[in-house]
Structure formats: structure tokens, C-alpha cells
Structure 1
Amino acid sequence: MPTGSRTWGGTTLTDRKAARREQLLAAGLDLLGNEGIPAVSVRAVCRHAKLTERYFYESFADREELVLAVYEGVAAQAHQALVDAVPDSSRDPEVRAEAAVTAFVELMLDDPRKGRVLLLAPTTDPTLSARGVSLLPAFAALVREQLPTRTSELDREMTAIGLVGALANLFIAYLNGTLEVSREQLIAHCVRLLSRAETHS
């Protein structure tokens, strides 16, 4: 029987390893999302997860690999939330825009840790900044797919990239406290940006 398949206490070694990895990722999300990049060290993550460093290195080569895994996990959740929010492109542009913005707000603001990880952490960490740039096309593609096809592909691409940048900066300003508006005002403004682009593109 393969080592990973052997059971102990009702679970396999593979299952326990996966559970420890999730504990470490959860600890990384807490530290990165609440205290920022400087708070994330191997020792701090292990202490927060109540695991030894031995188990940290079982799942991650170093601190940077954990931080990147936390970031990519949140980015994947954000992308999926947007995909799920606008499954029907035939709906009214404003309805689609409101569904997308609301889904993003629920993920980023209802759990501010995720908003800080996805939008604020890359501003202070070069590795996350580079990864964020590489993920931009995937988010821009979601916006581009909602834009009317009567304009050229290039125009739609530029509009989508511009909208993603504008929306990201609005959320960054909201999360870091430099934009003092209500949640409802933020959503309404973002919806107007998206729905106008969909109407006039």
C-alpha cells in the first residue's frame, strides 16, 4: 500500500498533509490580510497555524511560495465570483454590471482580508505585483466579453483594460481609507462605469 494511502485516526497521510497545507494557507491569509507583508514569516505562519516548521516545509519551499499561493487562491476566488455573477450575456448591461460589482464587493469587502491580499499587498511586494500584472488579462477578458461586438476587438480590449484599472484603483482607495464613501455609493459608481462602457462601446 502506498505510504500516502495508509490510514491513521481515520485519515490518510495525503489527507493530513492537505489539511496542514490548508491550515498554513489560512494562517497566511489572516496575517497577510490583517497585518500586511511584513507580518508574514515562516515562524509567524507556523505559530498562527499551530504547526511546526517541519510541516511548513512539507508544503512550501519558502515564505514567498506561501504568500504567492495565498494571493493566487484569492485571485481565483475573485475570478470565479465574477464568472458566476454574469452567466447570461443577454441580460441588460446595467443588470450584468450590478451583478458583477456586487459579487466582487461581497468577496473583497465582506472579507476585507481578501481585498487587502488581492489589491493592497501587491503594492508593497514585487513578487505579488508581477503576479497581479500577469493575471490582469484574465480579468480584462471577463469585462471584454460583456462589451458590444459592434466595436473593434482592439477597442474592446483597451476599454476592458482601462475599466479593470479604474475599478481596481477605486477598490484600493476604499480599502486603504483614502476614499470615504458608503458601500452603496461605491457599488453604484462602479455599476455606472461598467454599464456606460457596455452601452457606448
Structure 2
Amino acid sequence: MTLLGRAEGPALTVRAVCRAAELTERYFYESFSDRDTFVRAVYDDVCARAMSALTTAATPRDAVERFVALMVDDPTRGRVLLLAPESEPVLTRSGAEWMPNFIGLLQRKLTRIADPVRQAMVATSLIGALTALFSAYLDDRLPASREQFIDYCVDMLVGRAGSF
């Protein structure tokens, strides 16, 4: 995960992975058919952890705080989820495969919105906005404090979902 989520961008080769893990290439290829399979496995693991944290959240604030703890407290993980797909072509497809899961999870939480079409549009737009916010925050493009950031994300979720 460290090689894929570097602040300078991914620097991931099979050789670099083996060096970091202190393994031979033979062991690498016993688990993964190639570099792209490894990259997808790392990305899928991070997505599954994020989904697990969000699924068990009781409130919007709890969800945001859990996601911040997972992605901001460990910025390597956050960069893998949110920034690596921009520079890793193999993750473009993986990201597109995971996105409906995150949208669906949020959509199921939007119980105040009766119309399922509107529910889907609100969930999709909120996931897009949150993705942009977290990406900018991880990339140090938002000068907000942690509390300001969490409060804003919660306000956006509650405000948008509650406006129907």
C-alpha cells in the first residue's frame, strides 16, 4: 500500500514491491499474476475497509469521522483510494466498479427521500462532492482544520439529504 499511496504518486514495480516486502519475485508471482493484479488487490482491500467502516456508522457524523480516521489519519490509504486512480490506469476500472457500492450505501441511508430516482441522484452527487473534498484535503489544497473539514462534510450530507 505504501508504494501505491506515496505522496509523490505511485512508484510501484514488482521489484519495488518485493524489495519492500523482503520477498523474492517468485513469491510475488505465486500470489499475483502481474503488477496490475497486485495494484487491484491493494485497491480492493482499501475499498473494502472503507465500505466496512461506513456500513457500521450510526449517524452521518459517525460515518464522516470513521472515513476521516481511515483515510486522513493514514494518508497513504486515502491516497490509494482517492488519488491513485488518477495515475494508475488499471484502477480506472476498479474505481468505476466500486463507485456504485459507495453510492448504493449512501442511497440506502437517504430514507427521507421517497423518490428512488431522486435518491440515486442525490447519493451520486454527494459521493462526487465528498470524493472531491477528500481528495483536495489529502492533497493539502484545503486549509481547513480537521474539525472544520468534518463539520463541513456532515453539514453537506445532512443539509442535502434533509432538503427533500
1:49 Cα offset (Å): 0.4
CA distance in structure 2 between the aligned counterparts of 1:129 and 1:179, rounded to whole angstroms: 25
Is 1:52 aligned with 2:15? no
Q: Give the alignment's TM-score, normalised by structure 1.
A: 0.78
2:46 counterpart (71, 74, 95)? 74
- Does the CA contact (< 8 Å) of 1:107 and 1:114 recur in 2? yes
Instruction: Provide the aligned C-alpha RMSD in A.
Output: 1.1
2:133 counterpart SS class: helix
Unaligned runs of 5+ in 2: none
Counterpart amino acid of 1:145?
R
Counterpart amino acid of 2:143?
E
Q: Deviations over 1:30-89 (max 9, x none)?
A: 11122532x100001001100100101010011111011000000000000000112xxx
Residue 41 of structure 1 is matched in structure 2 by 13
1:200 Cα offset (Å): 1.5
Residue 73 of structure 2 is matched in structure 1 by 110
CA distance in structure 1 between the aligned counterparts of 2:18 and 2:158, rounded to whole angstroms: 45
- Does the CA contact (< 8 Å) of 2:18 and 2:25 recur in 1? yes
CA distance in structure 2 between the aligned counterparts of 1:183 and 1:133, rounded to whole angstroms: 28
Residue 195 of structure 1 is matched in structure 2 by 158
1:145 counterpart SS class: helix
Greater relative contact order, per chain length (Cα 8 Å cut-off, separation 6+): 2
1:64 counterpart (17, 36, 60)? 36
Identity, % of aligned pairs?
A: 48
1:166 Cα offset (Å): 0.1
Aligned length: 163
CA distance in structure 2 between the aligned counterparts of 1:54 and 1:64, rounded to whole angstroms: 16
Q: Give the alignment's TM-score, normalised by structure 2.
A: 0.95
Counterpart amino acid of 1:45?
V
Unaligned runs of 5+ in 1: 1-28, 87-95
CA distance in structure 1 between the aligned counterparts of 2:100 and 2:154, rounded to whole angstroms: 21
Counterpart amino acid of 1:153?
P
CA distance in structure 2 between the aligned counterparts of 1:127 and 1:33, rounded to whole angstroms: 15
